[in-house]
Structures are given as structure tokens and as C-alpha cells.
Amino acid sequence: MIKNKQHSAARLRFLRSTLFQIVILSSVLISFIGCSSTNPEIELYNQLVSMADSLQKEGAIEYYLNGTIHEEAGEMYRAVIQYQLAHIYDPNSVEIILSLAKTYLKLGEHRAAAILLGQGRESNAENEELLVALLQSNVYSGQYPQAVMLFEELKRLRPLGENELKQFALVLTKLNRFDESLELYNSIIKEFGEQSWVLDKIAQIYLMRRDVETAKKTFYKILDLEPDNHNVIFLLGSIEMNDKNFEEAEKLFRSAMNIEPGEIKYWANLMGALDLQKEDAELLEVTSEAVSKFPESAFFMEMHGNVLTTLERYEEASNALRQSILIDSTRLSPYQSLGYLYHHQKDWGKSAEIYNAALKLDPGNPLILNNYAYMLSSQNDRLKDALEMVENALKLEPDNPTFLDTRGWVFYQLGQYEKALTDILEASEGEGENVEIYEHLAHVHEALGNLDKAKEIWRKAYVLDPENEDYKRLAR
């Protein structure tokens, strides 16, 4: 291999030396011919020029062959150098231009390939291979308007193939030329039959145009072709979730999960659909199965803990939430859930312990600061610390109704009832109907002596929670 390279290099040096001598001799003859126009001198000049052209092309071939050897060996940068030298010797060779451009593309140098091919077309305007290669390089480099012009030029030369039509439609979609793109995709279906890939692209265009119903119909056409396409089933479930059709979303997510049970996002979205329907018993079944199938998933363990909390199975819930933290101690949400659980049980010490651990992870987290402050205000403890925490949370989210309600309740516990009323009223306006905010607001009105107003608020709370005996009594 080394001998061949040495031989090649020596031959190229000889070619360059000979070519240089011919060029000098040709220059002398040109001067001479300028003085004498006899036929023998002109014939000799033409012979020398022909020899120079021949040697130049031979040099280009040597470099070109070296480039192909390097390319086959996967030595792309060396191949580029050899092809570039070949291009210097023969700048109009289509084979050299194409090889150099394709090597640029393999190296991700799409723009360099486009420039080279554009220059090559200046002297080879009718060459279809150069046109196609230039088109591809413009697509890869994101030069979509130029690519469209080249597709149109290629269409004038010959009909576009199926893959070219697909690529043309994709480019038009990138340019938001949706009508033209849809027209192309439909022409592909008409000529080549319905294909899942094409139908998916059509559906995606309808989604971008916010035509959800047509997108759904198109996705269902894909399922007619591929009933077990779990990706499409999942997409349809996501659309139904977005439209708040939670029951239909649940069915679709279950279907996708049954086809591909190892896909975590199918489980997670099924849990979301059940949670939004408040189907706690079914949700517990799914989370129980998920933590068994994915024991290292901190998210699923947390979801399991949350549904156990909802079902008031507090000991199991706290175990699950602590396990979630053990699996991944960097996630804040299980700390929030566990801190709230201990707060609900009035286990103030454990609640504070969890919130302190969370604040070590993220000292400025507004939700943790708010929840910690509310826990302290609920037991009428460390109210100055609570006020500082919730005010830090409000600096980050000044219009958050939950945070305003917390600060209002801290003010209430501090005996600053007017400030409490201002905050809790604003929270009520921002949150709408909320039984906990109504309860706080009623207490503040009572403290201010607004007993009729307080009773009115208790009635609102009772409407939202008619099983609460305290609300029933206070609303009378």
C-alpha cells in the first residue's frame, strides 16, 4: 500500500513538472506565433496544448482515484483533499464535482456542497445529476426556497419520482405552503395508493392549520391500514386529551399501552386521563401495575403515592412517596406531595423536615416556599418566617391566587385583618370558586365583624361541599 502511494506521488510530481514545462514552451510559442503565422508553428502549438490538456486530465484522474480509495476507507477528510486537487486539474468534470460534493455532504458540509454544485452547473447547465445533487444539498442545508426552484426546474425536465414528490411536499410544508403540499401528497396517494407515511404528513399539516377534526379523520385512515400503529393511537389519545374528551383518551391510551406495554409515556398519559376523570380506583390499579413493571421509575412511584393519599391510605402513601425520593432525590414534586401529606395529617415536624430538605435542593422554589408558609400559618407557628417565605414566592409569581391566599391567611393569623381581606379577595377573584379560599374569606369577615357577609361566604362554601357539616351549620 505504501509503495503504491509513493509511486502515485512520484508520478504526480512528474506530471506537474512536465505540464509546467509545456506551459512555458507554449508561452514562448505564443509570442513567436504573434510574429509569424506559418502553419508549422501553429500546428506545434496545438499539439503542445493537446498534450497539456491530456496531462492535466491524467493528473485529475490520479487525484480522483486517490480520493475514491480514501472515501472507501472511510477517510473522508483525506478524500476531500484529493477530490479538491482533482477539481483544480479538471474543474468541469461532472464526476469529480459530484464525488467532492457527496463527500462534503457526508461530512455535514451542506453549504459547501451547494456552492460547489452551483458553480459546476455554470459549465454543465443541462446535467441532470448535478441538478439533483444541488437540489439535495439545498434541502439538507435548509435552503428551502432555492430547493423549490430546483424542484420546479427538475419537473420541467421529467416527471418527479415518488420519493422526490414526498421530499418536495416536505419542503413546501417547511415553508408553510400547506395548500401546495397537500396537493402534492394527494397526488402521491392518487398515483401510488394510500400510504401511512403520506397520511401522517397530511394529518400533521391539518394539525398545524388547527383543523383538528380533519387531522383525526386522517389519523383514523392510518389505523385502517395499520390497526396496531400504537404511535398513531397515542397521538389520537393526546388530541382527545387536549379536547378534554378524557374517557375517549383513556381508551386510546389503554389500547396503545396494550400494544406496546414497555412505552412509559403510554402509562403516564393513561394515568393523567384517569386522574382527570377522578377514577381513583382504576388509577390505583394502573399505578400499582406500573410500579411493579417499572420499579425504578420515581415518577410512577410518586403517582402511586398521590393516589393513595387521595384514597386516604396515608401510611402506604408516605411509604411510596419516600420510595420515590429514594429512587431520585433530585425531583421536587414528591417532596411537595409528602410535605402536604404530613401537613394534612397535622404531623408538623415531619412536614417541616420534608420542606427543609426540598429547600436545600431549590432554595428559591416558589411552590415549596408557599406550601411551607401555609403549613406554618395553619399551626400558627413562626409567622414571621412564614410571611417572609410567601412574600419571596410572590416576588416570583405576584399574581398567583394560591400564594395570595396563603399570605392573606398569614396576615389573618398575625391579626392584620384588612391586609388579609385584600389578599384573599384578590385570590378569590383570580381562582374563582374555591372552597378553601371561601373558608378563609369567611373567617376574615367574621374577624372584621362583617357577619352577614361571612354567612354569605359560608353558603358559597356549602354549595361546593354540601357534605361538610361545619359549612352547613355556619351557613344558617
Does residue 264 lie in a domain region? no
pLDDT cut 90: percent of the chain above it: 69
Which of 223, 245, 266 represents a domain boundary (last residue)?
A: 223
Domain count of the fold of the chain? 2
64-86, pLDDT tens digit by residue? 888 889 989 999 999 989 888 88
Q: Looking at the domain assignment, is residue 407 inside a domain?
A: yes
Instruction: Write the CA distances from 226 to 46, 219, 222, integer angstroms.
Output: 69, 10, 6
308 or 467: which carries more pLDDT confidence?
A: 308
Residue 266 falls inside a structural domain: no
pLDDT of residue 384: 96
- Residue 379 in any domain: the answer is no
Per-residue pLDDT reduced to its tens digit, 391-413: 999 999 999 999 999 999 999 99
Residue ending a domain, among 199, 223, 247, is: 223
CATH code (residue 164):
1.25.40.10
Alpha-carbon distance of 195 to 188, in angstroms, equals 9
Q: What is the pLDDT of residue 3?
A: 39
Supply the range of the domain harboring residue 195: 159-223
Give the confidence band of 418 by pLDDT, cuts at 50, 70, 90. Answer: very high
pLDDT at residue number 25: 43
Higher-pLDDT residue of 59, 314: 314
> pLDDT by residue (tens digit) across 283-306?
999 999 999 999 999 999 999 999
Average pLDDT over residues 372-377: 96
Per-residue pLDDT reduced to its tens digit, 360-371: 999 999 999 999
Q: Which of 64-68, 131-135, 258-262, 410-414 has the lowest mean pLDDT?
A: 64-68
Q: What is the pLDDT of residue 33?
A: 47
Q: Report the range of poorest mean pLDDT among 11-15, 130-134, 163-167, 353-357.
A: 11-15
Task: Note the pLDDT tens digit of each residue in 138-196.
Answer: 998 899 999 999 999 999 999 999 999 999 999 999 999 999 999 999 999 999 999 99
- How high is the pLDDT of residue 2? 38
- Is the pTM value of this prediction over 0.85? no
Summary mean pLDDT of the chain: 88
Task: Categorise residue 294: left if φ over 0, alpha if ψ from -120 to 50, beta otherwise.
Answer: beta
pLDDT at residue 14 in the model = 41
What is the reported pLDDT for 45? 44
* More confident call, 276 vs 88: 276
What confidence tens digit (pLDDT) does each residue in 6-61 have?
444 444 444 444 444 444 444 544 454 444 445 655 564 455 445 445 545 677 78
Domain boundary among 223, 243, 275: 223
Query: Region 216-243: what's the mean pLDDT?
Result: 96
Residue 424 located in a structural domain: yes
Q: pLDDT tens, 117-128?
A: 888 888 888 889
